[in-house]
Structure 1
Amino acid sequence: MSATTTLLWVVFPYVSMAVFVVGLVWRYRYDKFGWTTRSSELYEKTLLRLGSPLFHFGIIFVALGHFMGLLIPKDWTEAVGFREVAYHFIATYMGSVAGLMTLVGLVLLIYRRRVTGPVFLATTRVDKFMYVMLAIPILLGMWATVQTQILGEAHGYDYRETISPWLRSLFYFQPMPELMADVPLPFKLHIAAAFLLFMIWPFTRLVHAFSAPVQYSTRPYIVYRSREESHATGSRDPRRGWEPSVAPRERRRRTSTNT
């Protein structure tokens, strides 16, 4: 086994995932206010309402497909009656639809950022770099699917015999880079681009993917009280459990009277 193979399929993935994990921890501890998407919805909504759902729903289905194909062993799916023909059909054609949704959504979002003045001005250099690094693995993944799975052999390339066990071997800390030797070039480029994306992930707005409004349903209500005297002394009776607020001028008058 050559040093290049070890560097590409052992060292590089581990370095990428280490930067990914450490970067997320660092970003959360020292840049919580920057842990945001910096939403630009106020500037433009029409293209956003079309492109954002296409991209996000597409990428979710793509992620689920990758999880099933890469992390779940082939023997497990066959043991429950999920044969290779059915898996190939779902992974290839339904995966292609999800990938196309993702790509179209991303193109619309990039187009929106370029042609909408305020959105373009709010786009940083890091954002531009992120969009490029995000588009590359998506395009390479589509290329790999079309060339090897749709236009290739009858049943396509069975990456669950090579790429999947190689990836799982990294998590077991027993890497088997020799499995990547005969993998088609489009898949190799797609994997390398994906690990590059993971390396820059913590330092971009992509961190919002790990945000969830867990405390939203349990947080206390925010009480708004009017400062207008008309609201405090109106004819309508206050609701049970609530007291009308006293306007600052009225409160000062009462205080001076008591003293």
Structure 2
Amino acid sequence: MAHPVDWFFWTVYPYLMLLSFFFGTIIRFAFYPASVTAKSSELLEKKKLMVGSILFHIGIILVFFGHVVGILVPKLWTDALGIPDHIYHLFALGGGGVGGGLALIGMLILTYRRFSDARVHLASSTSDLIVNVALLVTIILGLAASFIAGPSHPAFNYRETLSVWARQLFYFRPNYLLMVSTPMLYKIHVVCGLAIFGFFPYTRLVHALALPWQYIYRRYLVYRRKPQV
């Protein structure tokens, strides 16, 4: 019989974090729109920021879509297309390794910059520092789960356990027993990832949702030289 802690983490905890994400985001955009900013420290230090930010953003986008495919595409579908498990896992590890590696290198640079540069560190809030460390730890855990826990537990197939549980969250019937036998590194990675979602609206990360869509459809701004008198 599963422990009550398992039931809490795999039945209640995900919804607490997701509710915090949705309601926190709505409240921040509705009542504190001026605070939705990345608070750039580019003027204090630019070189490490540009390299780290580019690598991190490219990597995290690849990782995000990799997670979406891994969770939302059932094993039944790839089996129907005739894609063998070892080929699927080979591409998943390759893509995840590239995306996760880029995100890790970028986050290492950004975290080193934020803690080692005196001016950047002084301009950082406690939330900024926590976000950097949290993202770094979560990325490391994700890579460790894929390249250490996975090969160490050959009988474990996340597509038949973790991914199924994650999809069940969307229709409010998560079977927490699917997560009981999941390797610990995967569990910690999921807990940390959900925590980032939960605290997302209250940190600088919320700026990722403030995309300037108005630039797509706004009228062009015409600049004319002032006529000489």
The answer, yes or no, to whether TM exceeds 0.5 is: yes
Residue type at the aligned position of 1:29? A
How far apart, in 2, do the equivalents of 1:152 and 1:167 lie?
Answer: 20
Aligned length: 228
CA pair 223-43 structure 1, distance change in 2 beyond 3 A: farther
Q: How does 1:110-149 map to 2 (within 5 A)?
A: 110-149=111-150
> Mind listing any 5+ residue stretches in structure 1 that lack a counterpart?
235-259
Identity among equivalent pairs (%): 39
Q: How does 1:244-255 map to 2 (within 5 A)?
A: none
User: 1:56 maps to what in 2?
Assistant: 57
Is the 2:70–2:163 Cα contact (8 Å) retained in structure 1?
yes
Larger Rg: 1
User: 2:28 maps to what in 1?
Assistant: 27
User: 1:75 maps to what in 2?
Assistant: 76
User: 1:216 maps to what in 2?
Assistant: 215
How far apart, in 1, do the equivalents of 2:217 and 2:72 lie?
Answer: 34
Is the 2:21–2:199 Cα contact (8 Å) retained in structure 1?
yes
Residue deviations 1:20-64 (CA, integer Å, cap 9, x gap): 110010111111111111112222221122111110111111111
Residue deviations 1:177-214 (CA, integer Å, cap 9, x gap): 11111111111111111111111110001012212221
Between Structure 1 and Structure 2, the one with more helix by share is 2
How far apart, in 2, do the equivalents of 1:197 and 1:190 lie?
Answer: 11
- In the TM superposition, what is the alpha-carbon distance from 1:232 to its structure 2 partner? 4.1
How far apart, in 1, do the equivalents of 2:216 and 2:192 lie?
Answer: 38
How far apart, in 2, do the equivalents of 1:149 and 1:90 lie?
Answer: 14
Residue type at the aligned position of 1:184? P
How far apart, in 1, do the equivalents of 2:5 and 2:51 lie?
Answer: 43
Pick 1 or 2: higher relative contact order, CA cutoff 8 A, min separation 6: 2
Is the 1:113–1:123 Cα contact (8 Å) retained in structure 2?
yes
Which secondary structure does the structure 2 equivalent of 1:216 belong to? helix
User: 2:180 maps to what in 1?
Assistant: 181
> Mind listing any 5+ residue stretches in structure 2 that lack a counterpart?
none
Matched, 1:203 2:202: yes
Is the 1:92–1:150 Cα contact (8 Å) retained in structure 2?
no
- In the TM superposition, what is the alpha-carbon distance from 1:223 to its structure 2 partner? 5.7
CA pair 223-93 structure 1, distance change in 2 beyond 3 A: closer
